[in-house]
Structure 1
Amino acid sequence: MHSSQTYKKLVVFTSRFPFPLEKGDKLRAYHQIKELSKHYEVHLICTSEHKVEEKSKTQLDPYCASINVFPIGLIQKIFGSGRKIFTHKPIQVGYFHHLTIQWKVNKLLKEIQPDHIYCQLIRAAEYVKNYHECPKTIDYMDALSKGIERRSLTAKGIRKIIFNKEYKRLLNYENSIFEYFENHTIISQQDKQYIFHKNRDQIAVIPNGVDESFIGQHNNTPKTADIVFIGNMSYPPNVTAAQFIVNEITPLLKKEIKIKIAGSNPAKEVLKLAQENVEITGYVDDIKQAYQSAQIFVAPMFLGTGLQNKLLESMALGVPCITTSLANNALGAKPEKEILIADTADEFAKRIKRLSSNDELRNNIINNGRSFILENYEWSKVTQQLVELIKSS
């Protein structure tokens, strides 16, 4: 735990506890806190939908002067989401924001007296937007409205109506919440373009990074699969990607190809994909081994927003990647040099066949891809801009 009294006090506010690292927002918060703690006395305040185990808290203890977790119960979730239906605020803001927690947060902020507040995601912004005793930074992370809009295009019935309403509310909320914060950050240039505020040029692009444990790893893991896809397997864009691999790409390849789909909380739609040549692992203890156990990482991401951590990690580990234009727009890797791009099942199948049969191409993509990640996406490097942004306000 940070003991230095010379460091300025930084409150980091998140909507989920940043451990375990099975979701993108947790991963980003954890590594940013780790880096920020080298420059500030960090006080973590967060809400949590699930009980936070003590062993998870011990993972943050070395970086935080204090940790306060406010659980959100089932009744709170239902009531909070339900009452937003009759307002102009997004449902997910109501899901995370509750007056009983707000009172406790107000009391805590009064006690801590922070020099700066760093708030992750707009759904947590309600808790700190009206605190004006210090400067504040909002991390949009990604354009949530755009992600919901994309999901609305494929939704049907009542879900389509709900997604359409939520999209419009998120769009307005992303715009209005801008005014409450001095600094604004986002994960990619692509997402920045979907925040429709007149001063969006002021939003700083601060990408995600890769943990140093992924860098310089020798790929000696036995290859037990031809293709791997990894992610939180209850997240709709990942579910869609897994279905696309098995149902659309695989029929265009030779029958004996082996597919591994790894990641926590697989949805029932994902579990249904399991067959002789398709392994659904669920949560894995060693995610690095899961990446490296396959010849190729395939990520057909057609939904969602932000920068895909899965691409950063697989490229850092020396696993060649094939992904969509949408995903690579945020990443910025050079097609045919550091990554391969495909936007249809036929294109994915062709790229997989090329990588499997062309050793020179494969080695070039591996080596160039790893170099690209090392140069651009180490956590210590990408978080330095955030450190400077907070220091300057």
Structure 2
Amino acid sequence: MKLFILLSRIPYPTEKGDKLRAFHQIRILSEHHEITLCALSDIPAHPDAIRILQQYCKRIEIIHLGKSGMVLNVLKAFLSGKPIQAGYFYRASARRQIHDLIDQTKPDHIYCQLLRVADYVRDLNVPKTLDYQDVFSKGMQRRIVSSPWWKKALFRLEYHRLLSFEKEIFNDFDNKTIISAPDRELIPHQDNKEIVIIPNGVDHNYFSPMERPKTYDLVFTGNMGYPPNVDAAEFLANHIFPQVLKVQPYARLLIAGATPHSKVLALRSDNVAVSGWVIDIRESYASSKIFIAPMRIGTGLQNKLLEAMSMKLPCITSPLANSALGAKEESEILVGSSVIEYARLIIQLLGDKEFADKIAENGHSFVKDKYDWKKSTAMLEDLFKSNHQK
């Protein structure tokens, strides 16, 4: 089949969840299909991006979204009733380019990632799949609670608009996909059971156990400019970790990941390291005894948990994050619901190596069995074929 894949970001490097998902899906789909990749971008492409993506794509088109038009587009979205998430990425000129490219390549199927790009192709009479991936409306609703008072009104408005838009675009696509079952239930459409669950995977050959000196007791990773990760980092460093230090005064915490927000950089101390971008994130996992992701806002599956479990670290997370992951509590993962509970679990793992090894081993087996890019992308491929055969 000839596939046209439309993304809101260039899927390399893979430091963000949507880019990671798209990259591996493209990599595997390219084994049997001809791919035209069209990616929007509001920043310059990474120097290696085109070279790496050309291995998998017959044609690559990057549509650069100039910064000068973004304020105007956000304003247009605000006045038109569209969510900012959609308006920020929309340009009439980009729409013309995308339609011209589709006319030239004549794809058998169009695959769109995230509602941000839905407006570009929703009216085309070509079989189409929309990957909701996460539920943006629910993520925005959770941000309202933790946001400063002066942002609450804007976030509340965006929440209602996202809710409406997620429902509005549903019937414009032949297929809909999402990462997890709990998120599927949150899509505000009466037929949300039609959405096919396509989980993420993890590259088990790459994220495999590594022997390294344990420089840190705890590690938390992710894109540290992303609000749910910023919130989790602050919660961890300012509230959970001080309770651990009361019992383990020499404990050390590593917060690792790209584009750290100023709030994250401010967490640095004698016991807390903030690394920023690291060339090989595996080194951050391997240098730590425990992985923790105390997520309080956001939606979707946490790739960081898949990677840490694949590297055989004992993991602690929140009920919110584990609802998407689906690991067995007290066996494959530990789940905390409060500052005191998180601290207790950390101290328990640090003090009981046999217990820590059991959680790590069980978690490793769980993620190897359930989360595999080839298996999940095969499900996506079957979905495309079902439309092609009609």
**For this structure pair, what is the TM-score category when the shorter chain's length is used for normalisation?**
over 0.9
Residue of structure 2 in register with 1:98 after alignment: 91
Residue 269 of structure 1 deviates from its aligned partner by: 0.3
Matched, 1:45 2:38: yes
* Deviation per residue, 1:212-231 (Å, 9 max, x gap): 3335x232011100000000
Q: 1:54: how far off?
A: 4.1
Distance 1:53 1:312 in 2: 25
Q: Give the match for residue 176 of structure 2.
A: 184
Instruction: Give the aligned partner of residue 132 of structure 2.
Output: 140
Q: Distance in 2 between matches of 1:218 and 1:52?
A: 32
Contact 2:13 2:46 in 1 (8 A): no
Q: Secondary structure at the match of 2:95?
A: helix
CA contact 2:209–2:286 (8 Å) conserved in 1 = no
Please give the secondary structure, in 1, of the residue aligned with 2:292: strand
Contact 1:214–1:317, Cα closer than 8 Å, also in 2: no
Does 2:1 correspond to 1:24?
Answer: no
Identical-pair percentage:
44
- The TM-score normalised by the length of structure 1 is 0.96
Q: Choose from 202, 205, 210 the match for 2:197.
A: 205
Tell me how far 1:161 sits from its aligned partner: 0.7
Measured in 2, the distance between the counterparts of 1:92 and 1:80 equals 11
Q: What is aligned with 2:294?
A: 300
- Which residue is 1:351 aligned to? 345
DSSP 3-state at the match of 2:80:
coil
CA-to-aligned-CA distance 1:180-224 (integer Å, 9 cap, x gap): 100000010011011011111100011111013335x23201110
Q: Per-residue deviation at 1:113?
A: 0.6
Q: Output one character per residue of 1:255-302: Cα deviation in whole Å (capped at 9) or x when no partner.
A: 211010000000000000001111110000111111111000011000
1:367 is the counterpart of 2:361: yes
Letter in 2 for 1:104: Q
Give, as a single letter, the amino acid of the residue that structure 2 aligns with 1:86.
Answer: L
Q: Secondary structure at the match of 1:145?
A: helix
Name the structure 2 match of 1:5.
none
Ranges in structure 2 where 5+ consecutive residues have no aligned partner = none
Q: Tell me the secondary structure at the aligned position of residue 86 of structure 1.
A: helix
Equivalent of 1:87, from 80, 85, 92?
Answer: 80
Residue by residue over 1:320-373, the C-alpha shift from the partner in whole angstroms, topping out at 9 and shown as x without a partner, is: 100000000000000011000001110000000111111221111111101101
**Mean CA deviation greater in 253-262 or 142-151:** 253-262
What one-letter code is carried by the residue in structure 1 that aligns with 2:182?
Answer: Q
Structure 2 SS opposite 1:137? strand
Partner of 2:152: 160
What is the CA-CA distance between 1:141 and the residue it aligns to?
Answer: 0.3
Q: CA RMSD in A?
A: 0.9
SS in 2 for 1:274: coil
Deviates most, 313-322 or 245-254: 245-254
Please give the per-residue CA displacement for 1:35-73, whole angstroms capped at 9, x wherever unaligned: 111221111011001111341111111110100000111
Q: 2:238 aligns with which of 226, 236, 247?
A: 247
Partner of 2:163: 171
1:223 counterpart = 2:227 = no
Q: How far is 1:157 from its partner?
A: 3.0
- What number of residue pairs does the alignment pair up? 384
Distance 1:156 1:335 in 2: 33
